[in-house]
Each structure stands twice: as C-alpha cells, then as structure tokens.
Amino acid sequence: MTEFRILVFLGAPGAGKGTQTTRLVREFRMKHLSTGEALRQKAREDTLLGNQARECMERGELVSDELMAEVVREYMTDFRDSTGFILDGFPRNLVQAELLEEIAGETPIWVINIRVDEEVVIKRLSGRRQCMECGRISNVNFSPPRQEGVCDACGARLVQRLDDLPDVIQRRLQVYREQTKPLTDFYSRKGCYFEVDGNQDTDTVFKRISAHLTGGESSAGNSHLSADRASA
C-alpha cells in the first residue's frame, strides 16, 4: 500500500476500532489522527485556529463542523510523508463528511465499518474494568485479572465505569446507529465503503482489513463489499 489515502473507521463503541488502528499504524506506516486530541493540541497554540478552538472549549461550546474540518486539513498536510492517515472521531455527520470530501480533493477516502452484534458489544464493554491508579483496562470476560478486582500492573482497585453499564451501553448504541446510518448510506453511494465482521477475533478482522487495503479499489472505484463478499 503506497498510495496516500485517508482511512475513516466506523464502528460502534466496543467494535475494536482502537485495536485495529494500532496495528495499521504499525504495519502500514500510517498516521493516526484523533480529532479530539488534535483539537486540544491546537487550542494550546497561539494561532488563529488555535485561538478559535480554545475560545470554544473555554465557553463549553461544541466545536463547529467547519473548525473541526480545518484541524483535519492542517494535520493532513503534516502527514504527507506517510502512506496516509486514519481518522478517529471525524466525520460524525453528513456535513463533516462533505467537508472531508472538499479537504481530500483527489486523495482517496476509504471507509471501513467494523460491524459488531449488539450482544457482543455489551459483553465486551460491560466486562471492562479500569484501574483507579494507573488507568489500565482489564476485561473480566476475556482477560480477567489474576486477582479479582485488583489491577495486575499496580495492585490498585479495579472499577467499572458508568458508561460501561449495560443500560448505558444500549443508549450509546442507539445514538451511534442514528448518527451513523446516514454516513454509511453516503459512503456506500460513493463506492468507497467496506464492511467487515467485527464479531470475529482481532487477527481475523485485521487480515480482512489488510486484504482490502492492499487489493481493494479506491474511492474512485466500487469497493462496496460486505465481509462475506470480501471472503468469497
């Protein structure tokens, strides 16, 4: 994969986007742009964009779609020495998706949706426990700590975050579905949308994504494939 491209990950909370991003950054020499972190970084800079971001954050206001797009535009220029970058947290709506099209210009946009069943997401997230001291994440369902309720790394107490309670997870999933359906429709029509079954183990998911990135078509082509079709 040598062509510079923008990779957009879609997927519900707990779909495994972070895990796959880490591997892609390492193995494909891609950059990772977390728009939340990028915005906070810009807010510390004494620039026009930084001042605008800082003023919004200090007032507790939502940052406008246009301002977020400008943050992405600046980082895109910085990332040209890589094979591309993975966007985390952008776009979240159709306005942002259209702004990203303007920013990208001739740069291909590839969209990967990691599709996971609701019961799998609930099992993954409801099993998470976070250390009160070092912040390390354990999972009682998949990688339980050696001693129940105790962090393997530092010995401090493990707790369940409020947003990992099953009823909260279900509300988060409902919001995600409402926000994401217009995006999947938008990118499907553009022929740059690929869907992978995220219920599988992380290695299998990564192999599917890697195969798509190395052998699939760019946004100029028709790569609207489901995970089943991709494996056919």
Active site residues: 17, 92, 128, 161, 172
With residue 187 as reference, give the H or E element that holds it. helix 166-190
Distance CA 38, CA 46 (A): 14
Which residues neighbour 24 within 8 Å (Cβ) at sequence distance 6 or greater? 7, 30, 86, 206, 209, 213
> Which of helix, strand or coil describes residue 65?
helix
Read off φ and ψ for residue 74, nearest 5 degrees. Answer: -65, -45
